[in-house]
Amino acid sequence: MEQTFVMVKPDGVSRGLVGAVVSRFENKGLKLAAVKLMTIPQELAERHYGEHREKKFFGELVEFITSGPVFAMVWEGPQAVKNARSIIGATNPAEAVPGSIRGDYALIVDSNIVHGSDSPESAQREIGLFFG
């Protein structure tokens, strides 16, 4: 069964959206396999977002993701990566369709409530980083 990594980011945790996010994955039929409430150390943040290291927003991204607790999860089920990404919605909330998490709860790209792995390979890498 495929697994994917999902986390409620500091903005989602501080706004009290953990329950709403978890409900959407449960309602869809995915199964929760692991969960961890944690504040991400700088080094882990830089590794997790390593593919964005050259982007101009990298520093702000790392600062934001380490700014408060995140709710990290592993969800599993058929095509878990694709299904999770459709529940989450487009990276930019302005483009995310209503009914998706970012479409319903977020306005701007740098605080978009939730992260989800973008491929099965990324999912295995990110699950290893957070739960390995």
DSSP class of 119: S
Which of 14, 57, 79, 99 binds ligand CMP (CB under 6 A)? It is 57
How distant, in Å, are the alpha carbons of 17, 58, 89 from that of 63?
21, 9, 23
Spatial contact of 102 and 89, defined as CB atoms under 8 Å apart = yes
User: Is 110 a binder of ligand CMP (CB under 6 A)?
Assistant: yes
24 is in an annotated binding site: no
By CB under 6 A, what part of segment 62-91 binds ligand CMP?
91
Q: Which is nearer to ligand CMP, 57 or 94 (CB)?
A: 57
Residue in the shown chain whose Cβ atom is closest to ligand CMP: 115
